Amino acid sequence: MAARNASPATIPQLASLDDREFRRLASFIERELGIRMPESKRVMLESRLQKRLRLHGLGSFREYVDYVFSERGLRTEMINMIDAVTTNKTDFFREADHFDFLRSRILPGLAENGAGRTLSFWSAGCSSGEEPYTLAMVLEDFRSRTPRMDYRILATDISSRVLEAAERAIYDMDKVEPIPYDYKKRFLLRSKNPDRAEVRIRPELRAKVDFRRVNFMDETYPVPSGFDTVFCRNVIIYFDRPTQERILGHICAHIRPGGWLFIGHSETLTGMNLPLRGTAPTIYQRE
């Protein structure tokens, strides 16, 4: 079935997401994305997908679900549905003590022991770019005092929409409020249009970050091995416990022995069989 084009005025009042269609979507989301989708999330799912129905001129969720799982929909709409249902909340310098630990405890050792090679970092679940660009600011500041050090950052997410926003690297002024003043002066460019309260990450910093789409539910991840440090924060909280352990096991396989893993403050690895040892709350080192 092909989606129809229609103006918003001609679209009838949207029906609710009924039991059958909710189960069909929830089953797919849990199976393919690993995101738990209990009954309590039905209203959230319905709300996020209504824009997609309106865009295609569809008057019911049944029509939309049939379209998503049609041959054409699997090619053209599935990725948009995934973008709509995934959660992408992030901030610059979120959980700032992690970056303090990186500056004071990790980077001096990496710079000393890794002289002559490019250090590698992975922002796994980068959303719209705030985390990898925060990481780039911290690394660039450290590099300015450590000339022999160089680095690259890989930033990945399942959502193509947020990856496109991250590559643009344009943010409202209120979003960059947590960035220290010195970093704002060094790493941000004000919009040339005085009516636009926006900034953009400087090109030399953007050049240090590579963006790539990765689905953590895949059996293998198309990323290199040997990362010095991985930030996977506030990502696994959306998965059930066995899936969390499987994902982190895959991620650990891409961290070099002695490398580091940061997880979110609301997350825990207690009881998981992983090659990690805790060094500080939510900070682990690869064995």
The single-letter DSSP state of residue 3 is P
Ramachandran angles phi, psi of 140, nearest 5°: -65, -40
Q: Which amino acid would we find at residue 24?
A: R
Distances (CA, A) of 285 to 93, 135, 262: 21, 18, 9
Among 181, 184, 178, 182, which residue's Cα sits nearest to residue 199? 184
Q: Which residues are catalytic?
A: 48, 157
pLDDT of residue 9: 42
Q: Is 80 exceeded by the pLDDT of residue 45?
A: yes
pLDDT of residue 102: 98
Q: What is the pLDDT of residues 174-217, one digit of tens each?
A: 999 999 999 999 999 998 888 889 999 999 999 999 999 999 98
Q: Is 70 exceeded by the pLDDT of residue 3?
A: no
Q: Which residues pair with 278 in a beta bridge?
A: 284
What is the pLDDT confidence band of residue 11, given thresholds at 50, 70 and 90? Answer: very low
Residue ranges of E strands in the chain: 118-124, 150-157, 170-172, 188-190, 198-201, 209-213, 227-232, 255-263, 276-280, 283-286
Q: What is the pLDDT of residues 260-283, one digit of tens each?
A: 999 999 899 999 999 999 999 999
Q: Which amino acid would we find at residue 282?
A: T
Q: What is the pLDDT of residues 74-121, one digit of tens each?
A: 888 888 888 787 766 789 999 999 999 999 999 999 988 876 789 999
Q: Which amino acid would we find at residue 104?
A: S
Cα–Cα dist 218/228, whole Å: 23
**This prediction's pTM:** 0.80
Among 219, 221, 82, which residue's Cα sits nearest to residue 158? 82
Domains of the chain listed by start with CATH number: 8-85 (1.10.155.10), 97-286 (3.40.50.150)
CA dihedral for 44, 47, 51, 53, sign (positive or negative): positive
